[in-house]
């Protein structure tokens, strides 16, 4: 039990170091050596918990996304509006992690098949939740139509996210809410 607790504490130190380094230097400025030094661990301890630096970064981004989850226990109560608002909060409240999320999804997964698989699984999971949320928001909606709308909404939100990363003056939240209203449609 003591070893398990020590492992969890080490993992938290590594993730905390990764978080702070990402905030300070971004994805380009983070190194395994920097993470280990900041966390006060040896590289061997790092590799006991994470296969790569990117895995630690993805874990930090995942935790940030989960922090805004409207239904973390998965009781299936979230509507598509709830899910979209959580995504908006993530993009607006965590701009550094949002930028890193885009970088990992676009550039990182192009060269790393494990990361690509992880990103695709994350997308498939999110699509399932948005589709179910769409049906909760519009109970009479055909399941295939709910899934089509959810796919469109997610693709458009990701496009808006990229634009937001490129242009800090872009009003992501307003555009995302307008998009949501047009995809969900009138009652």
What would the DSSP string read from start to end of 95-158?
A: HHHHHHHHHIIIIIHHH-HHHHHHHHHHHHHHHHHHHHHHHHHSTTS-HHHHHHHHHHHHHHHH
Same domain, 88 and 165: yes
pLDDT by residue, tens only, the chain of 187 residues: 556 566 678 899 999 999 888 888 877 888 999 999 999 999 999 999 998 888 898 888 878 777 777 777 777 788 999 999 999 998 998 888 888 888 777 776 677 777 788 788 888 989 999 999 999 999 999 999 999 999 999 999 999 999 998 898 999 999 999 999 999 987 5
**Selection from 65, 49, 151 nearest residue 100 by Cα:** 65
The answer to whether residues 90 and 98 touch, using CB atoms and an 8 Å cutoff, is yes
Same domain, 143 and 89: yes
Same domain, 37 and 66: no
Same domain, 62 and 27: no
Same domain, 67 and 113: yes
Same domain, 7 and 39: yes
Same domain, 78 and 160: yes
Distance CA 108, CA 58 (A): 10
Same domain, 13 and 77: no
Predicted structure pTM score: 0.80
Domain that holds residue 147: 53-184
End-to-end CA separation in angstroms for the chain = 54
Distinct helix (H) and strand (E) counts, the chain: 10, 0
User: SS in 3 state form for 74-87?
Assistant: CCCCCCHHHHHHHH
Number of domains the chain contains = 2
Same domain, 105 and 73: yes
Residue 40's pLDDT is 94
Same domain, 103 and 131: yes
Residue 105's pLDDT is 77
Residue 185's pLDDT is 80
Same domain, 119 and 87: yes
Distance CA 78, CA 70 (A): 6
Residue 123's pLDDT is 87
Same domain, 37 and 122: no
The enclosing domain of 43 has a CATH number of 1.10.10.60
The enclosing domain of 109 has a CATH number of 1.10.357
**Residues 6+ positions from 29 with CB-CB distance below 8 Å:** 21
């Amino acid at each position: 039990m003591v070893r398990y607790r020590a492992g969890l504490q080490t993992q938290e130190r590594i993730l905390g170091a990764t978080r702070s380094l990402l905030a300070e230097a971004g994805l380009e400025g983070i190194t395994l050596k920097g993470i280990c030094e900041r966390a006060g661990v040896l590289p061997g301890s790092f590799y006991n918990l994470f296969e790569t630096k990117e895995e630690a970064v993805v874990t930090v981004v995942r935790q940030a996304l989960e922090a805004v989850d409207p239904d973390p226990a998965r009781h299936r109560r979230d509507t598509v509006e709830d899910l979209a608002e959580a995504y908006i909060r993530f993009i607006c409240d965590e701009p550094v992690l949002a930028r890193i999320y885009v970088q990992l999804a676009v550039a990182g997964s192009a060269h790393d098949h494990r990361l690509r698989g992880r990103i695709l699984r994350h997308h498939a999971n999110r699509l399932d939740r948005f589709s179910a949320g769409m049906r909760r928001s519009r109970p009479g909606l055909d399941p295939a139509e709910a899934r089509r709308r959810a796919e469109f909404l997610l693709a458009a939100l990701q496009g808006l996210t990229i634009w937001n990363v490129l242009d800090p003056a872009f009003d992501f939240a307003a555009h995302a809410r307008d998009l949501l209203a047009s995809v969900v449609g009138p009652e």
